[in-house]
Structure formats: C-alpha cells, structure tokens
Structure 1
Amino acid sequence: MRSPWKLLALPAREPIRRWVLGAFPRGGGGLIEYDRPMGDPGLFGPDSATWRVHADFPGMLAGGLAALMLQTLHPLALAGVWDHSNFRDDLVGRLRRTTTFVSGTTYAPRDQAMMLIERVRTIHAQVRGKAEDGRPYAADDPHLLTWVHVTEAYSFLQGFRRYSHVQLPAGAADRYYDEVRRVAEALGAREVPASEAQINGYFRRVRAELSFTARSREVLGVLSRVRLPVPVAGLSRDVFLQAGAALLPAWAESMLERTPLQRAQAGLAARALWSVAPVFRAALPDGIASRACSRMGVPAESLQRWH
C-alpha cells in the first residue's frame, strides 16, 4: 500500500523533480558514475549513517545554506573565498560544485570519490593570500579545513534532524561525525571532531577566532539574492534560506546579528519545509542515493531505517 505522502506527491512529482534537477543537475557533469562497479561501497556504504543523512534532500540543501552562513564568520576562511572565488557572479555554480563534491564523496565508488578529493586538494594548494588584517591564509591549512568540515557536518545533521521526519537513534550522531571525518582527513584536516560532544567543544574553542565583518555581510547579501534556475526562484530561495537559518546554533545567530523578525521568519520557513519535505522524498525515488543502493544490491528504502 502506498503511503499518504506518495499519493500526495503524484501530481507534484514532475514539477518537484524538474525543480531539483534544474537547480542541481545530477552526475557531476557526467564525471561520476554512481551505478557501477557493482558491489563497490565507496567510502561509506549502505549501512553507514552518512548514506542515510545525506539522502535527505531538503535537510541537505537547508543544511548547506546554514553551513555557508556559519563559514562567513571565520575571517581566514572567508578571505580565501573573497580573493579566489567568483561567488558574486556565480554563486549557483559554487553551490552546485559543493553539491557534486558532497554527493560524490558520499555515494560514488571509492576510486571516483578519491578522484574528487584529489581534485579539491589540487585546487586548495593554489589558494593562498593575506586576510584583511594581514594574516596569511592557505586553503589547505588543516585548521581551516577542519572549520569548513565541522560547519558542514553539523549543519547537514541538523538539517536531517529538523526536516527528515526520521527520529535519529541514540548514538547515530556520534556515528555520523566519526564517519564523515574521513573525507576531511583525506583533504588534509587534522584533529577532526568525531562525536557530538567533540563538535560542541570545538565550536566553544573556535568562537574566539570568529567575527562578523563587512565581508561577512556582503557574502550573506549575495546569498540572499541568489536566483536558482527553478520556478518561483525567489520564493524557493527564501524558504530554503530561512529554513537553513533556523538550523544555526544560538551563538551564531547572535554573532550574525539576526533580528527578532528574521528569527521569526526562519521559524515559519522551517515549519513550511518540514511540512513539504516528505513530498520531495516521494517525488525523487531514483536519486543518487537510490543509484548507489542499486550498485550495492540493496533497496533504497533501507536508507529510511536505522539499525
């Protein structure tokens, strides 16, 4: 018997499918083959917490946007984006490249996942400069790599918790953090937090390095105006952006100087996204996670169960 959400999604299946694929085309530009070789688990495999968390599209998109907001608070990490990225003109392209990297390192066969990691390492080796205060920065600095990783992993997990409609079992958060640090360490990060307690401790320690600057404001302004190539682009952006802001920890909301009105808008958007999130899942039965499951000979529905 079909679930009520699948029945509800039938009329919306194609519009939602076109929405997602229009904004985030699959396959990494044809460079990633998710369907073979058969039996290759990649870096994680179908029994991992990572495959489950990253299979939830609404939580991942909202989480990715939350991670971008957090990342604007680190002056050295932001300097690399400021000096070496065309984020002002092609923020959508940057979001797509990040999506390709995360989906590829999560679900692609191992050799292809490592190829993506090596490509990013090569790019990072060329990103160097000086921040506004004259301090040198390098994108392959292990400390900065850890910051970027932690903001993303934290935000993705919070997105899953908030929007997936799946109860996270005891210990699953620690398992997720312990798994995903493999990618950060392969990129060159060191002392990567491996549990929820360690993540919380890391945020407490790193806060002294963070600040909300004019550059932070400008990047957030660009993000607030981004137009995804989808229907009702402004509305779609605002819902996901505010739903992402709803995932921010309280200390980050304060640092980002979010007003009571903005926090109220984030709460409304979070409730709206929670309401429609199951429709996204029902309308995307053949996503990248499903293809990876087929490669491993397991049903995609198994990613909705935890064990």
Structure 2
Amino acid sequence: MYLPHQLVGQLLNKKFDEDVRRHYFRGMEFAAPVGDPGWFGPGSAVWHVHSHMHALIFGLQCAAFMERLDPSIYWMGMHHSRLVKRDPQTGEAKPELDPKGLAVRLGHSIAFFIGTAYGSTETAERLAQSVRAMHHTIKGVRPDGARYDADDPDWLRWNYATVVWGLATAHELYHPNPLRGKKLDRYYGEFVRVGHALGGTDLPTTKAETLECLESYLPKLAVTHGTATSTGPGVPFPQNMVDWAIRDTLPKWAKQLVAHTDPNIIERTARRAAVWSVINGLSAATGPIPEFRQAQARVKGGTTVPHTVPTYVPGTDPVRSRDEVERSFA
C-alpha cells in the first residue's frame, strides 16, 4: 500500500520524465561504459552536490538571477534567447519572460549539469561541445553601442562564477547534509572542470576566490529593465517566495544593487526553514535521481582512472550555423 508521499513522488517523477527527461536527456549515457568515472566519479564533491535535484534546480535559478546583472547578458537574451516574449508581428523582444522558453532553458540546464556530473566521459564531452557551439553564435551589439560576445574570456569568467556560486550556495543552505569549509572548496575546485570545458580561463577554484571574482565585476553591473520588473515586492505569490529565497543567496553588494534588505534574524530563519521544507519535501518524495544510481552502478566494480578531464582546446571547435546548433538541441 502506497503512502501519500509515495504517491506524490510517483506523480512528480512521472511529470519530470514527461517534461524534462523525454525531451532533454536523449542520447545521454549514464549506465555505460562500465568503469568509466566520467569527469568526476565516486567520492567526488560534485556527485554529492548534484545528487539533490531540487537544490540543484534552485541553485540554477540563483545563478541566472545574478548572471543577468550584467547588462550584456540581458541583451544577449533579448537578441538571441527564447526566454523572452516577442511581438508576433515584428519578432521584437519584450522585457518579459516567456514561460515556455523558460521551461526549455531550465530543461537544457538541468540536463547539462546532471549529464556532466554523472554521464559517461563521451556524454559530458558532447554536452559541453553543444553548449560551446551555442555560445559561438551569440555575438552582437547592445543599444548603447557596446559589443558582446559569448566567447569573450571575461564574460565566460563572470558566467562561470555566477553558476558555481549559485549551485554551491543553494547546496549550503538547502541540502540536508551540506558540505562546508574545505569540503565545500573541494566542490569549487572540482567543478572548475566544467568551466574549462566551456572555454573558461583563469577561473576561481575556492569559495573565497569566487566571491572576490564576482565582486570585481561590480563596476560593470547594473539593474536592467528586465531584472527590475521580475523581482522585488511587486512579484505575486507564490513566485515572491522563490524570488525572496533567490535574493537571499546573493552576496551583500549584490543585495544592495537590487535593493534587497535582509529581515531580522528570526524572520529570515523562519523563511529559510519554509524554503528548506519545500525543497527537501520534494526531494524526499521523489527519491534519488536515476542518473545518479546508474552512474554508481557503472563504477561499482571500480574505475579505470580516478577521473577523466575535459579535452577542449579553445579555438578547435568546428564552425556551425545557428540553425545547425538549434537542431542539435532539438
């Protein structure tokens, strides 16, 4: 006889299978080849952090919020992304998120960070190559005349730092068994492989270095129209609960930039406890993700090497058109 939480878990897993795995996990290998540890392998901090799917998803939202404090990121999205709504007649972007486009972006992001964590070496390499191919097509000019290029090393460093900070901070706050101190720095040090695989250079490898890196970009950052209209006290319930939790993860200077004020310690603790209960309630209902279990089985008898590392050398990717890249993501 199934208990209520087991039924909820079944429904949530079925919906995730239909909405995410069926569309975005195609062609990804987790069960083979036997003995292949992928980029990280058993005992790694990355395997521990990414196994908590719902904290991972929340961390990706935190990363996206901080990322778009760079005006160039905002205009990359306006010019190239499906995330924003567009005028049906002119195709011109509006500063409003498109729910369908947001779901597609989230699906691809989840698949990437699960695939690079637990997938075979070939799976991780292919995922990274696909994302790099998309980055290669994102170049343009902002309305103020400033140029942007998703292959720019300075942009890649900012993008990487926001992602690793978002994922690690969400883990610290909302994982039931979080890594802290030097153990958490292991995660920062391991995860840098993903940044290198996407073309990043001179990337931070500890929590302190990441905080320093993020703050160094402050002179370049701003609250764009899109950010201003999608956060703060005007956001309706229940989105405002998630919006608050995201802003709560920001460093002090970033909170000041978006005019976020921490409540008193009692209220802040109560709010975090509520968010913790939701995230971990979902995780308890759905259970361990199958990709993690498959990866564990893949290396149950041992690994061929401690881990493999990304092989990408900047500038060696084949040239692909935007249409070719879009088809690879379809």
The question of 1:186 aligning with 2:182 is answered no
Backbone CA RMSD of aligned residues:
2.9
Q: Distance in 2 between matches of 1:144 and 1:118?
A: 18
Cα deviation, residue 219, structure 1: 6.0
Cα distance in 2, alignment partners of residues 213 and 176 from structure 1: 31
Deviations 1:156-209 (A, max 9, x none): 111111111114244112111111111111211111001112112112211111
Larger radius of gyration: 2
1:217-232 matched pairs, under 5 angstroms: 217-218=228-229
> Unaligned regions of 5+ residues in structure 1, if any?
1-6, 226-233, 299-307
Report how many aligned residue pairs link the two structures: 281
Which residues in structure 2 correspond to 1:141-290 (within 5 Å)? 141-218=152-229, 235=238, 239-258=241-260, 269-282=271-284, 283-290=286-293
Q: 2:296 aligns with which of 259, 277, 293?
A: 293
* C-alpha contact 1:69 1:220 (8 A) present in aligned 2: no
Q: Where does the alignment leave 5 or more consecutive residues of structure 2 unmatched?
A: 85-97, 302-330
More helix by share: 1
**CA-CA distance at 1:28 after TM superposition:** 2.7
Q: 1:49 — aligned with what?
A: 45
CA apart distance, 1:260: 6.6
Q: Determine if contact 1:245/1:266 at 8 Å carries over to the other structure.
A: no
C-alpha separation between the residues in 1 aligned to 2:243 and 2:12? 18
Measured in 2, the distance between the counterparts of 1:266 and 1:94 equals 30
Q: Normalising by structure 1, report the TM-score.
A: 0.81
Contact 1:45 1:51 (C-alpha < 8 Å) held by counterparts: yes
Give the whole-Å Cα distance in 2 for the aligned partners of 1:115 and 1:167.
30
Greater Cα shift, 183-192 or 208-217: 208-217
Helix, strand or coil for the counterpart of 1:201? helix
Bigger Cα displacement from structure 2, 203-212 vs 15-24: 15-24
Instruction: Give the drift of 1:264.
Output: 10
List, as ranges, runs of 4+ consecutive aligned residues in structure 1 with deviation greater than 6 Å: 263-267
| 8 Å contact from structure 1 (residues 34, 107) kept in 2 | yes
* Inter-CA distance 239–290: structure 2 relative to 1 (3 Å threshold): farther
Q: Distance in 1 between matches of 2:67 and 2:231?
A: 10
Give yes or no for the alignment of 1:137 onto 2:139.
no
The TM-score, its normalising length taken from structure 2, stands at: 0.76
Which one of the candidate residues 47, 61, 67 is aligned to 1:71?
67
Equivalent residue number for residue 124 of structure 2: 113
User: One-letter code of the match for 2:20?
Assistant: F
Contact 2:185 2:206 in 1 (8 A): yes
Alpha-carbon distance in 2 for matches of 1:39, 1:25: 24
